[in-house]
Every structure is written in C-alpha cells, then in structure tokens.
C-alpha cells in the first residue's frame, strides 16, 4: 500500500523541482532586461517632463528630513533647470504614480501619470491633458482644479501627489 503512494509523490516532487529551477533560470535571464526597460522608460518620462534638461542626478531622500513618504524618487537636472519628483499615492482603485517637474522657483513645469489602477472611463482622466495641464505654473492652491463628477477621490489623490512634490521641492531646495 505504501509503495503506491511513494512513486507519485516522487514524480510530483521531481516535477516541482524542475519547474522551480526553470522559473529561477527564466527570472535570472529576464530581470536585467526588465530593469533596463524600466530605466529607459523612466528616462524618457523625465525628458518629457523637463525637456530642457541635459541629464539627471538622483537625490537621496535619506539626506533630508521631512520628505513625504509618497515621494519615491527625486532628481536634480545636470544643467540646473529644475527638479523631477516621482510620487505614489493611494487613489480609489489603487496606487497612482505621478511624475512632476518643478522649476527653480517652485512652479510645476509639467506633470503626468506614470501608472494607475483607477476605474476606466471615470478615473482615467488623470492621464488626459485637460486635467494635468491645469497644474502647469502652479505653486499651491489647487482648489480650482476641475474634475469629473464621481471621481473626487482620484482627483484628490493626484493633487495630494503634487502637493507632496512641492513639499519635497521646498525641503530639497532649502
């Protein structure tokens, strides 16, 4: 009786080991490719956000006290035209990742949504130019930012990300 269970158990164990090894090999092959592609997409997004920049130097949040927890990455432009901040905030459907460029006077130059899980048709207005264009030139006072009825949480989350960007800018800029 025991013998009838041993062979299937050994076969299943062998299958699990082979599949695990195959997955580990695939992961080690694809991880650098995926990381490089993400880095290239980030560089393109940063250049679109601050087109006058010649390069970017990453700023460590550990060097400053009080950086909002939503700020994921910070960059200073090599030619001193401004700063780039990437923030992730909680929206209605999940995290919203925003990239924003700030000039040296603390005004939003450009912003865009890198990723989100908001409801299609209602919450995806945060990708559209009519919405994100409202922030250009602003330093504060986002009360007049338009939205779509039923998507207030999404709007407020995007505004919160921009507010955190400006707080981080003030801290980094000194």
Query: Tens digit of pLDDT for each residue in 29-55?
Result: 999 998 888 778 888 888 888 888 888
Report if pTM > 0.85: no
Task: Read off the pLDDT band of 77 (50, 70, 90).
Answer: very high
Instruction: Give me 136's structure tokens.
Output: 């250009």
Compute how many other C-beta atoms are within 10 angstroms of the C-beta atom of residue 157. Answer: 24
Among the residues of 72-143, which ranges form H helices?
129-132
Q: Is the pLDDT of residue 64 over 80?
A: yes
Residues 85/168, Cβ–Cβ less than 8 Å:
yes
Burial of 129 (0-12, 13-18, 19+ CB in 10 A): exposed
Give residue 109's pLDDT band: very low, low, confident or very high (50, 70, 90): very high
The answer to whether 137 and 82 are in contact (CB under 8 A) is no
Q: How far apart are CA 95 and CA 75, in angstroms?
A: 21
pLDDT of 18 reads 95
At residue 149, the pLDDT reads 64
Are the C-beta atoms of 82 and 53 separated by less than 8 Å? yes
Q: Which residues of 106-117 are buried (b: 16+ CB within 10 A; e: fewer)?
A: ebbbbbbbbebe
Residue 1 has pLDDT above 60, yes or no: no
Cα angle vertex 146, ends 145, 150, to 5°?
125
């Amino acid at each position: 009786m025991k013998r009838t269970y041993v062979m299937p158990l050994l076969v299943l164990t062998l299958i699990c080991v082979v599949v695990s090894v195959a997955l580990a090999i695939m992961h080690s092959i694809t991880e650098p490719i995926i990381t490089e592609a993400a880095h290239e997409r980030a560089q393109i997004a940063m250049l679109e956000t601050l087109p006058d920049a010649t390069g970017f130097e990453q700023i460590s949040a550990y060097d400053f006290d009080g950086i909002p927890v939503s700020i994921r990455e910070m960059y200073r432009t090599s030619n001193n035209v401004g700063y780039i901040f990437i923030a992730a905030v909680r929206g209605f459907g999940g995290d919203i990742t925003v990239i924003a460029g700030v000039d040296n006077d603390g005004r939003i130059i450009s912003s865009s949504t890198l990723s989100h899980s908001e409801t299609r048709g209602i919450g995806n207005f945060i990708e559209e130019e009519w919405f994100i264009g409202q922030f250009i030139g602003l330093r504060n006072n986002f009360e007049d930012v338009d939205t779509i009825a039923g998507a207030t949480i999404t709007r407020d989350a995007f505004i919160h990300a921009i507010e955190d960007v400006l707080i981080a800018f003030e801290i980094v800029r000194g």
